[in-house]
Amino acid sequence: MEQHRSFPWGVLFIVSLAVFILVSDTTTMEVSISALVADLNTDVSTINFIITIYTLVKASFILIGAKFQDIIGRKRTFIAGAAIFSMGAFTAAISQDAAMFLLGWSILEGIGTVLMLPATVTFITGTYEGKERAFAFGVWGGVAAAASMFGLIFGGYLTTFYTWRWAFALELVILLIIFALHRMLKETSPTASWKSFDIGGSFLSVFGLISLVFGILLVREPAELVKAPFLITGGIILLIGFYFWERRQIIKAKGILVDVTIISERSFFAGNLIAIGQKLVTAGFLFIFPLFYEMVTGASAYETGLAILPMTLAIFVFSILGARFASWVEPKYVLLGGIALTGAGLVCLRDVFSLTTTAHDIMAGSLLLGIGLGLVLSQLTNLTLSSIRTERQTDASGIYNTTRQLGSSLGTAIIGIVLAIGFAHGLLTGNPSPLPPDQNQWSTWISDAAVNQGMEWAFMAMILVVIGMFIAGLFIRKTGKIV
């Protein structure tokens, strides 16, 4: 294992900085939509289109980004990604119109992300082992989850008091620190060449993922809903074709984009299912809670971020503590315990939402949810990737990060549509009996019933996902206490 004993956690520090900006970047911009519309002289639909393109670039090219590590080396891939991301951040920061912002944020930062993110995983597997690796992956997962929620707080603060452009300035400062410390990262020798690059597999994976993710995102748009099943079906067909294409390449001893045979490894497959569920729940919560809190209570984006600050801190703290727990308890049981606590947190939150809900009302449930997610993240990545042999870690990181991106897209789409259906059902069935004589009281009653029903259904959907995560967790192999 590559190690720098003068500063053994230097690699983890660099990786954590990278993950922080890669993840917080998205939620920061999502809460800055109104400010972006005003400053770029555009409309909401254009900004949503730019966000969609960014999502598609990240989800569709991560497998290729991971493969670059085999062709040019892990460190070169990561540094090249950081350089492209830096150009994107600078371009986005000085953007004068939507086209410039699209180039800087969606395209350049998107490409930088797909080159950097898989490498953050393989740097850990290549540098640490045993208890240190478990701790490093706990920090990696905790930083990723906390960063997505920090984006709400930071983005809300900037749009409320300053400007969204400062978010990209902070990214540039962090990237300068990464460049300054790059000597701590060890290079790996290429194991493949451009001549063996799998063009056919790349085509199938990219277009399959674009079709699938775009179809999932269209589920949120009632006017485009009819297109979603065709895009999702087409994406699934292309990805099935990609799977068999890669198996054919392996049999013929030709170059491959990713070794798809690792998918059948029990712990790896189960871990990826849990990762999809964890990202679905996290993204779903981060979609519906700000929507509720800002629209119903009139809170600002910054106040919304502060409301979930305890949950954010709980995720980060317990993702680190959970790694320590694995030295006392079988890691699989820590994971299952975390999933159970995640479900308990969602159960506590299910019935608290109404027109009079305050931040205090969600405190206990969100804190429990944060503890559960922290424990899940402390074990999930290590248990999933440690089941794959060392020479296939780049393939494993590519697949793992792709499934996480899919989980995020599924979260906003599925939970969003369930919320809308529940809200409509509440409007139709929420008539009080007998009807109050005051019309305003009647309207309030109906609105309260709709809000409560919509949020209850959305949380029930997430609870069902967590049940599926727990079942998948049962299939992960025991590894023994980490010593």
Longest dimension (CA), the chain: 78
Residues 6+ apart with CB under 8 A from 384: 267, 268, 271, 272, 274, 275, 396, 400
DSSP string for residues in 371-434? HHHHHHHHHHHHHHHTTS-GGGHHHHHHHHHHHHHHHHHHHHHHHHHHHHHHHHHHHHH---SS
Q: What mean pLDDT is predicted for residues 251-266?
A: 88
| Last residue of one domain, picked from the residues 193, 223, 251 | 193
Q: CA-to-CA distance for 128 and 267, rounded, in angstroms? A: 20
The gap from C-alpha 78 to its chain's centroid, in whole angstroms, comes to 19
Check pLDDT > 80 for residue 2.
no
What domain count does the chain have? 2
CATH number assigned to the domain comprising residue 358: 1.20.1250.20
Domain of residue 115: give its range.
1-193
Same domain flag for 297 and 431: yes
Same domain flag for 283 and 188: no
- Is 425 a domain residue? yes
Residues 6+ apart with CB under 8 A from 280: 407, 408, 410, 411, 414, 415, 462, 465
User: Would you say 62 and 117 are in contact if contact means Cβ atoms under 8 Å apart?
Assistant: yes
Check pLDDT > 50 for residue 340.
yes
Tokens 């990219």 map to which residue? 206
User: Would you say 439 and 349 are in contact if contact means Cβ atoms under 8 Å apart?
Assistant: no
Taking the CA atoms of 314, 371, 320 and 118 in sequence, report the sign of the dihedral they define.
negative
- Is 85 a domain residue? yes
Give me the chain's average pLDDT, please: 84
pLDDT class of 45 with cuts at 50, 70, 90: confident
- Is 209 a domain residue? no
Give percent above pLDDT 90 in the chain.
32
User: Would you say 27 and 149 are in contact if contact means Cβ atoms under 8 Å apart?
Assistant: yes
Q: CA-to-CA distance for 369 and 348, rounded, in angstroms? A: 9
Query: What are the pLDDT digits (tens) for 201-223?
Result: 999 999 999 998 888 888 777 77
Same domain flag for 188 and 49: yes
Residues 6+ apart with CB under 8 A from 111: 57, 61, 81, 84, 85, 88
Per-residue buried b or exposed e for 27-65, using 16+ beta carbons within 10 Å of the residue's own CB? bbbbbbbebbbebbebeeebbeebbbbbbbbbbbbbbbb
Q: What mean pLDDT is predicted for residues 163-191?
A: 88
Tell me which DSSP letter residue 476 carries.
S
Q: What mean pLDDT is predicted for residues 294-299?
A: 73
- Is 309 a domain residue? yes
| Last residue of one domain, picked from the residues 158, 193, 228 | 193
Same domain flag for 336 and 446: yes
- Is 115 a domain residue? yes
Q: CA-to-CA distance for 213 and 100, rounded, in angstroms? A: 24
Query: What are the pLDDT digits (tens) for 397-436?
Result: 889 988 988 888 888 778 878 877 777 765 566 555 554 4
Same domain flag for 160 and 303: no
| Total count of residues recorded for the chain | 483
Same domain flag for 41 and 186: yes
User: Would you say 308 and 452 are in contact if contact means Cβ atoms under 8 Å apart?
Assistant: no
- Is 210 a domain residue? no
| Last residue of one domain, picked from the residues 193, 213, 242 | 193
Q: CA-to-CA distance for 329 and 332, rounded, in angstroms? A: 8
- Is 214 a domain residue? no
